[in-house]
């Protein structure tokens, strides 16, 4: 018997081991029971899935369980990006969404993500309730289901295509005309995921030539995790470096994360993109207000905020917390170092499609490469270099980790610890502005080691010392 546990972005498991049809039925029943306990569900649930193996079938099974509880569902006709599903919740004023996606995880994983009527990722109180209900039902495999065909006939399932409504929303946020005026073509890599037919189609409809690779479904994602990290997109880097492109744009498996290449094929870290976009939104587009970032994200955006007389709101890891600030209209932009961001007035969830297009607009309007824009921003607010390493969580390391972090050293790499932040993991801040963070992943069996410093050399020194502390 499996144990259902929701991490930072839903429940994920290995296909055929933890992630099975039976377990999906149980978790869907728990969601239905949660909705009924909250006197919700009558407005219906948006059902989506990414390009992974059997995604649509999992969604149909979930629809059958919802139908047995008399909860209508709106089933996406094809694999659909996570931000599009979030937008559809808002547009329909639905009770929420169930999205079958493991995002950037390797192909052997699938996942179930529940979003409430707010359209952002569910907050911990909600996921705890669903998790508890799921595990209480596991022993009896207790759920009810109405055959999918009958649910369709009875009008409890409606098949939908949310793409055009999402396109209209993004077109309100992006200056496509500015991108078109450059006369330059763009490269796009959806990594065999749900972004195909979104980023490229929006650009082409606006007269912007776009060259795509890896734009057909492949549940193995070409043999790499569907994450647009530098190591996974070497074919794309070569394409952009050898061509004459404005930029290279990439999205992950469910298109909620982004990867950006400058015109010469250089990979630009998400930490830098977030800070540059915040500066652009204030300085060029005239927006004012705070930004938000997770505890694991670079303080580069904090320096931008100080420069413009604004503040940054720090959150635990998990976009749900940033999403709450978007819902409350408290921030101009929110983002995480793991390449998720959104902006004021848009969905309270990560949107890799919007991020790619907003970066293209920024480069077009500024008339400068990303590397030039980055150096100019360094000149205004100072330089920042950040990195994340993953350390496999062995039984020995896991057993020692809590005690190790409960008794932090007085210094690391000869630097006295100035402040300890414990809102998510252990973050050790030093008086020169550098820092290290140790945090167990909520989606993979690893410990994340994050670090930041003002020079690459100091960063190397800190990361080596952090690894030695963790493994010593």
Among candidates 192, 159, 11, which has minimal Cα distance to 99?
11
What pLDDT digit, counting tens, does each position of 427-467 carry?
Answer: 999 999 999 999 988 767 889 999 999 999 999 999 999 99
Half-sphere exposure of 95 (CA within 13 A, CB side): 20
Q: What are the boundaries of each domain within the chain?
A: 6-162, 177-381, 385-471
State the fold for domain 177-381.
Alpha-D-Glucose-1,6-Bisphosphate; Chain A, domain 3 (3.40.120)
Cβ–Cβ under 8 Å, residues 189 and 236 = yes
Q: How confident is the model at residue 67, as a pLDDT?
A: 98
For the segment 215-240, the average pLDDT, to the nearest whole number, is: 97
Q: E strand or H helix at 82, and its extent?
A: helix 82-92
Q: How confident is the model at residue 82, as a pLDDT?
A: 98
Among candidates 295, 352, 434, which has minimal Cα distance to 8?
295
| Range with lowest mean pLDDT among 53-62, 70-79, 140-149, 215-224 | 140-149
Distance of CA 164 to the CA centre of its chain: 22
For the segment 147-155, the average pLDDT, to the nearest whole number, is: 97
What pLDDT digit, counting tens, does each position of 45-91 carry?
Answer: 999 999 999 999 999 999 999 999 999 999 999 999 999 999 999 99
Residue with tokens 């995002």: 103
Cβ–Cβ under 8 Å, residues 237 and 248 = yes
Which pLDDT band, with edges at 50, 70 and 90, does 274 fall under?
A: very high
For the stretch 412-447, what's the b/e string if a residue is b when 16 or more beta carbons lie within 10 angstroms of its beta carbon? bbebebeeeeeebbbbbbbeeebbbbbbbbbbbeeb
Residues 56, 59, 65, 71, CA torsion sign = negative
Half-sphere exposure of 265 (CA within 13 A, CB side): 13
DSSP secondary structure of 386-450? EEEEEEE--HHHHHHHHHHHHS--SEETTEEEEEEE-SSSEEEEETTS-EEEEEE-SSSSEEEEE
Higher local confidence (pLDDT), 3 or 341: 341
Cβ–Cβ under 8 Å, residues 159 and 187 = no
Which pLDDT band, with edges at 50, 70 and 90, does 237 fall under?
A: very high
User: Over the chain, what is the mean pLDDT?
Assistant: 95
Provide CB contacts within 8 A for 274, sequence distance 6+.
293, 297, 298, 300, 301, 333, 335, 337, 341
Among candidates 111, 112, 63, 72, which has minimal Cα distance to 92?
72
What pLDDT digit, counting tens, does each position of 164-199 carry?
Answer: 999 999 999 999 999 999 999 999 999 999 999 999
Cβ–Cβ under 8 Å, residues 320 and 162 = no
Q: How confident is the model at residue 91, as a pLDDT?
A: 98
C-alpha dihedral, 126 to 132 to 133 to 139, nearest 10°: 160
Pick 385-471's CATH classification: 1.10.1520.10, 3.30.310.50, 3.60.15.10, 3.50.50.60: 3.30.310.50
What pLDDT digit, counting tens, does each position of 337-368 carry?
Answer: 999 999 999 999 999 999 999 999 999 999 99
What pLDDT digit, counting tens, does each position of 363-412 carry?
Answer: 999 999 999 999 999 999 999 999 999 999 888 888 888 888 888 888 89
Q: How confident is the model at residue 443, as a pLDDT?
A: 66
What pLDDT digit, counting tens, does each position of 103-137 carry?
Answer: 999 999 999 999 999 999 999 999 999 999 999 99
Pick 6-162's CATH classification: 3.30.413.10, 1.10.1840.10, 3.40.120.10, 3.30.380.10: 3.40.120.10
| pLDDT beyond 80 at 139 | no
CA dist 224 and 106 (Å) reads 7
Query: What percent of the chain lies above the pLDDT cut of 90?
Result: 90
Q: Are strands 258-261 and 267-268 parallel, antiparallel or unpaired?
A: antiparallel
Among candidates 101, 97, 107, 99, which has minimal Cα distance to 71?
97
| Range with lowest mean pLDDT among 8-22, 286-300, 329-343 | 8-22
Q: How confident is the model at residue 1, as a pLDDT?
A: 46
Same fold for the pair 177-381 and 385-471: no
Among candidates 62, 38, 39, which has minimal Cα distance to 49?
62
Among candidates 386, 313, 319, which has minimal Cα distance to 350?
319
């Amino acid at each position: 018997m499996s144990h259902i546990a929701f991490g930072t972005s839903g429940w994920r498991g290995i296909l055929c081991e933890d992630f099975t049809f039976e377990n999906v039925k149980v978790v869907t029943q728990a969601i239905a029971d949660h909705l009924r306990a909250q006197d919700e569900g009558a407005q219906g649930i948006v059902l989506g899935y990414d390009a992974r193996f059997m995604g649509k079938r999992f969604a149909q099974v979930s629809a059958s369980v919802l139908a047995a509880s008399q909860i209508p569902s709106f089933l996406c006709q094809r694999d659909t990006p996570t931000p599009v599903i979030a937008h559809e919740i808002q547009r329909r004023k639905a009770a929420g969404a169930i999205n079958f996606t493991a995002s950037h995880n390797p192909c052997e994983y699938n996942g179930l993500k529940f979003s409430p009527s707010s359209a952002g990722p569910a907050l911990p109180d909600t996921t705890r309730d669903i998790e508890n209900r799921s595990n209480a039902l596991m022993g009896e495999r207790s759920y009810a289901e109405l055959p999918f065909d009958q649910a369709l006939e009875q009008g409890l399932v409606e098949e939908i295509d949310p793409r055009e409504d999402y396109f209209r929303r993004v077109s309100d946020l992006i200056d496509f005309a500015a991108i078109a005026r450059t006369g330059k073509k763009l490269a796009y890599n959806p990594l065999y995921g749900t972004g195909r037919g979104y980023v490229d189609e929006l650009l082409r409809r606006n007269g912007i030539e776009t060259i795509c690779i890896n734009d057909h479904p492949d549940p193995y994602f070409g043999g790499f995790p569907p994450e647009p990290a530098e190591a996974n997109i070497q074919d794309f880097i070569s394409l952009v470096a050898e061509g004459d492109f404005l930029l290279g744009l990439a999205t992950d498996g469910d298109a909620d994360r982004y990867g950006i290449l400058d015109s010469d094929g250089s990979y630009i870290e998400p930490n830098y993109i977030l800070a540059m976009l915040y500066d652009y939104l204030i300085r060029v587009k005239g927006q004012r207000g705070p930004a938000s970032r997770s505890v694991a994200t670079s303080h580069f955006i904090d320096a931008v905020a100080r420069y413009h007389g604004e503040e940054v709101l720090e959150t635990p890891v998990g976009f749900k917390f940033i999403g709450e600030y978007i819902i409350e209209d408290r921030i101009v932009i929110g983002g995480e170092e793991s390449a998720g961001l959104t902006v004021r007035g848009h969905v309270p969830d990560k949107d890799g499609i919007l991020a790619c297009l907003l970066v293209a607009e920024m480069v077009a309007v500024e008339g400068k490469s990303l590397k030039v824009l980055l150096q100019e921003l360094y000149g205004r607010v100072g330089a920042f270099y950040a990195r994340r390493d993953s350390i496999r969580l062995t039984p020995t390391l896991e057993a020692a980790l809590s005690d190790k972090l409960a008794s932090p050293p007085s210094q690391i790499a000869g630097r006295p610890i100035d402040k300890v932040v414990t809102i998510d993991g252990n973050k050790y801040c030093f008086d020169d502005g550098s820092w290290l963070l140790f945090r167990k992943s909520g989606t993979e069996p690893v410990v994340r080691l994050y670090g930041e410093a003002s020079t690459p050399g100091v960063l190397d020194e800190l990361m080596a010392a952090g690894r030695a502390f963790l493994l010593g």
